[in-house]
């Protein structure tokens, strides 16, 4: 069921989104060679706790997962792009790190992700991240009243093809509100003019994730969570929580 939010509820979600943005900023500031992924997870937990928020990731167990997720953030390195478990791996110079974070505050959720290089970027990483961010911007720009979900999906997929990136329709964007994952699904590629009509009050998480190169082939690690490219190509993931309003799209996960 698709739930439309009131203006007051959208503002409450903006508060949750700010906590997410603050947590991602703190994680990025702490990410440096030698820092462990579980130490970054601890940084995010401190930000959430200080704001009186909790993590919708911690203990989350969707149908595909063999075990509940053990972290407050997903930390995915290089060829891993989604759902990486924050463990003892110590970051190295040039690592491409994707961090996905959520927050629950006063009964409302926020969800956002970003990808960045640890130190000096390796060849191709800057272009991959830029393509993914541009796709996110294109998807957000398409989220206007009267448009359809397919318009958002098509805008994302068009950037992937233009930049020669691999795109998949698995694990795309989603509705968000009282819980982290709600209807509707927002795939990262599609046909314009198809799907649900966007109405003011709809709030969605738009989240392109791409691989370098033109294929979206991927596999899941033995941990049942970490999704990575099938052949070692690096991946990037960008996400914002976005409200459809009468005045156009409004990003709720900004600092």
Q: Please tell me what DSSP assigns to residue 232.
A: S
187-236 tens-digit pLDDT: 999 999 999 999 999 999 999 999 999 888 999 999 999 999 999 999 99
Q: How confident is the model at residue 81 (pLDDT cuts 50, 70, 90)?
A: very high
Within-domain flag for 202: yes
The residues near 49 (Cβ < 8 Å, ≥ 6 apart) are: none
Q: Is residue 143 part of a domain?
A: yes
Domain assignment present for residue 149? The answer is yes
The pLDDT, as a whole number, for residue 39 is: 98
Residue 59 lies in a domain: yes
Kindly state the tokens that stand for 209: 């994730």
For residue 184, say if its preceding peptide bond is cis, omega within 30 degrees of 0.
yes
Query: For residue 1, is it within any domain?
Result: no
CATH of the domain at 31: 3.90.230.10
* pLDDT attached to residue 235: 98
> Would you give the end-to-end CA distance of the chain in angstroms?
30
Q: Is residue 27 part of a domain?
A: yes
Does 2 map to a domain? no
Return the pLDDT at 214.
81
Q: What percent of the chain has pLDDT over 90?
A: 98
pLDDT tens, position by position, 118-129 = 999 999 999 999
The DSSP secondary structure of 64-93, one letter per residue, reads T-SS----SEEEEETTEEE-----SPBP-T
Range of the structural domain that residue 40 is part of: 7-251
Over residues 59-73, the pLDDT tens digits come to 999 999 999 999 999
Number of folded domains in the chain?
A: 1
> For position 215, what pLDDT does the model report?
85
Rounded average pLDDT over 89-111: 98
- Say if 134 falls within a structural domain: yes
**Per-residue confidence at 37, pLDDT binned at 50, 70, 90?**
very high
Rounded percentage of the chain residues whose pLDDT exceeds 70: 100
């Amino acid at each position: 069921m698709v739930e439309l939010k009131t203006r007051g509820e959208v503002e409450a979600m903006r508060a949750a989104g700010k906590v997410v943005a603050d947590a991602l900023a703190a994680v990025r500031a702490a990410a440096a060679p030698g820092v462990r992924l579980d130490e970054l997870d601890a940084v995010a937990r401190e930000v959430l706790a200080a704001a009186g928020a909790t993590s919708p990731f911690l203990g989350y167990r969707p149908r595909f997962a063999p075990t509940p997720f053990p972290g407050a953030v997903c930390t995915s390195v290089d060829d891993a792009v989604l759902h990486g478990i924050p463990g003892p791996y110590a970051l190295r110079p040039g690592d491409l790190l994707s961090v996905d974070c959520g927050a629950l505050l006063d009964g409302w959720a926020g969800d956002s992700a970003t990808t960045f290089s640890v130190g000096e970027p390796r060849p191709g990483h800057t272009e991959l991240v830029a393509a993914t961010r541009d796709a996110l911007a294109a998807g957000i720009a398409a989220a206007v009243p009267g448009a359809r979900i397919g318009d958002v999906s098509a805008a994302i997929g068009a950037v992937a093809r233009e930049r020669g990136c691999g795109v998949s329709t698995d694990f795309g964007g989603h509705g968000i509100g009282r819980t982290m994952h709600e209807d509707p699904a927002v795939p990262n590629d599609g046909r314009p003019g198809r799907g649900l009509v966007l109405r003011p009050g709809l709030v969605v998480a738009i989240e392109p994730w791409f691989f370098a190169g033109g294929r979206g082939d991927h596999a899941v690690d033995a941990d049942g969570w970490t999704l990575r490219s099938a052949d070692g190509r690096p991946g990037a993931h960008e996400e914002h929580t976005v409200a459809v309003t009468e005045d156009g799209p409004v990003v709720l996960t900004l600092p």
